[in-house]
Amino acid sequence: MDEQDRTDLTDNTEQTPRSEQNPGQPESAAVNFVMQDIPAGQNHEEVRPASTLQGTYAQHRAQQTPPGSDGRQANYNNIGGYPPQSNTQWRQSTPPPFGGGGQVPPMGPRYGGGMGQPIYPPVKTKSKNAWKVWVALLCIVCLCASVIGGVYLSNSLLQSHSASGDGGEFQFPSTAGGTDGRADVTKLQNSNYETISDIAEDLSLSVVTIITSIESVDMFNMTRSGSALGSGIIIGESGDELYIATNHHVLSDAKSVSVIIGMDDAHAVNAYLKGSDQDTDLAVIYLKKSEIPDEVKEQIKIATLGDSDSLRLGDLSIAIGSPVDKSFGNTVTVGSISGLERTVQFQNDDGTSQSMILLQTDAAINPGNSGGALVNGRGEVVGINNAKLTSTDIEGMGFAIPINTAKPILEQLINEGKIRRPYLGITGVSVEDLQNTSQYNLVYGVYVATVVENGPAAKAGVQANDVIISFNGQPINVFDDLTAAIKELGIGGSAEMEILRGYIEGDAQTVTLQVTIEEKPSSY
The SS3 of residue 481 is: helix
Give the mean pLDDT of 151-164: 38
Note the maximum CA span of the chain: 76
Report which of 400, 230, 236, 398 is spatially closest to residue 305, judged by C-alpha positions. Answer: 236
The pLDDT value recorded for residue 374 is 93
Would you name the residues annotated as active-site residues?
249, 281, 370
* pLDDT score, position 470: 94
Decide which of 498 and 129 is more confident. Answer: 498
Does the domain formed by 79-125+422-519 have CATH 2.30.42.10? yes
For residue 347, the model assigns a pLDDT of 64
Give the SS3 label for residue 459. helix
In the chain, % helix, strand, coil (3-state, to 5) comes to 15, 35, 55
What is the Rg, in whole angstroms, of the alpha carbon atoms belonging to the chain? 24
pLDDT at residue 44 greater than cutoff 70: no
State pLDDT tens for residues 375-412: 998 889 999 998 877 777 777 888 999 999 999 999 99
Determine the pLDDT at residue 400: 93
d(CA 85, CA 470): 28
- Under 8 Å between Cβ of 160 and 42: yes
Predicted local distance difference test score (pLDDT) of residue 165? 56
* 40 vs 229: CA distance, rounded Å: 22
328 vs 126, residue with greater confidence? 328
Determine the pLDDT at residue 168.
65
For residue 95, how far is the Cα from the chain centroid?
Answer: 38
Whether residue 126 has pLDDT greater than 70? no
User: What's the whole-model pTM score?
Assistant: 0.63
Q: Give the lowest-confidence range in 192-206, 243-257, 322-336.
A: 322-336
pLDDT band at residue 457 under the 50/70/90 scheme? very high
pLDDT exceeds 70 at position 61: no
Q: Are 286 and 274 spatial neighbours (Cβ–Cβ below 8 Å)? A: yes
- Taking CA 331 as the corner, what is the angle to CA 406 and CA 29, rounded to the nearest 5 degrees? 100
Q: Mean pLDDT across the stretch 312-319?
A: 91
Q: CB under 8 Å, gap of 24 or more: what pairs does 468-472 form?
A: 468/428, 468/497, 468/498, 468/499, 468/500, 469/444, 469/445, 469/498, 469/499, 469/500, 469/510, 470/496, 470/497, 470/498, 471/495, 471/496, 471/497, 471/498, 472/496, 472/497
Burial of 461 (C-beta count, 10 Å sphere; 0-12/13-18/19+): middle
pLDDT-based confidence at 295, cuts 50/70/90?
A: confident
The phi, psi pair for 23, rounded to 5°, reads: -135, -150
Of 9-18, 161-170, 283-292, which range is least confident?
Answer: 9-18
What are residue 228's DSSP bridge partners?
Answer: 141, 212
What pLDDT is stored for residue 480 in this prediction?
86
Please, where are the H alpha helices in 380-420? 403-416
- CA dist 12 and 16 (Å) reads 12
Judge residue 34's burial from the number of C-beta atoms within 10 Å of its C-beta, 0-12 exposed, 13-18 middle, 19 or more buried. exposed
Q: Say how far apart CA 253 and CA 251 lie, in whole Å.
A: 6
Between these two residues, 503 and 437, which has the higher pLDDT value? 503
Sign of CA dihedral 510, 513, 517, 522: negative
pLDDT of residue 212: 87
Pairing assessment for the beta strands 316-321 and 474-475 based on DSSP bridges:
unpaired
More confident of the two residues 331 and 305: 305
The SS3 call for residue 31 is coil
Q: Is the pLDDT higher at 425 or at 175?
A: 425
Residues recorded for the chain: 524
Of the listed ranges 29-33, 399-403, 507-511, the least confidently predicted one is 29-33
* Confidence check: pLDDT of 140 > 90: no
Q: Answer yes or no: is pLDDT of 65 > 50.
A: no
CB 124 within 8 A of CB 433: yes
Dihedral, CA atoms, 340, 341, 347, 350, nearest 10 degrees?
140
Question: Which residue ranges make up each domain of the chain?
Answer: 3-49+134-416, 79-125+422-519
Determine contact, residues 443/467, Cβ cutoff 8 Å: no
Is 80 or 472 the better-scoring residue by pLDDT? 472
With b meaning 16 or more CB within 10 Å and e meaning fewer, what string describes 389-411? bbeeeeeebbbbbbbbbbbebbb
Q: Which range, of 134-143, 171-180, 258-267, averages the lowest pLDDT?
A: 134-143
Of 80-89, 190-199, 273-282, least confident by mean pLDDT is 80-89
pLDDT at 485: 93
What value does the mean pLDDT of the chain take?
69
In percent, the amount of the chain with pLDDT more than 70 equals 60
Q: Does domain 3-49+134-416 have CATH number 2.40.10.120?
A: yes
Segment 441-454 shows an average pLDDT of 89
Residue scoring higher pLDDT (392 or 287): 287
- State mean pLDDT over 270-275: 92
Residue 30 has pLDDT above 70, yes or no: no
**147, pLDDT greater than 80:** no
Per-residue CA distances from 230 to 40, 270, 303, 444 (Å)? 23, 15, 18, 43
pLDDT at 498: 95
Alpha-helical regions (H) of 210-267: 248-251
Q: What is the mean pLDDT of residues 208-228?
A: 82
Averaged over 33-50, what is the pLDDT?
Answer: 32
Mean pLDDT of 320-341: 82
- 446 and 429 Cβ atoms separated by less than 8 Å: yes
Q: What is the pLDDT of residue 179?
A: 42
Convert 260-310 into a string of H (helix), E (strand) and C (coil): EECCCCCCEEEEEEEEEECCCCEEEEEEEHHHCCHHHHCCCCCCCECCHHH
pLDDT of residue 158: 35
Q: Which of 29-38, 198-207, 281-290, 511-520 has the lowest mean pLDDT?
A: 29-38
280 or 107, which is more confident: 280
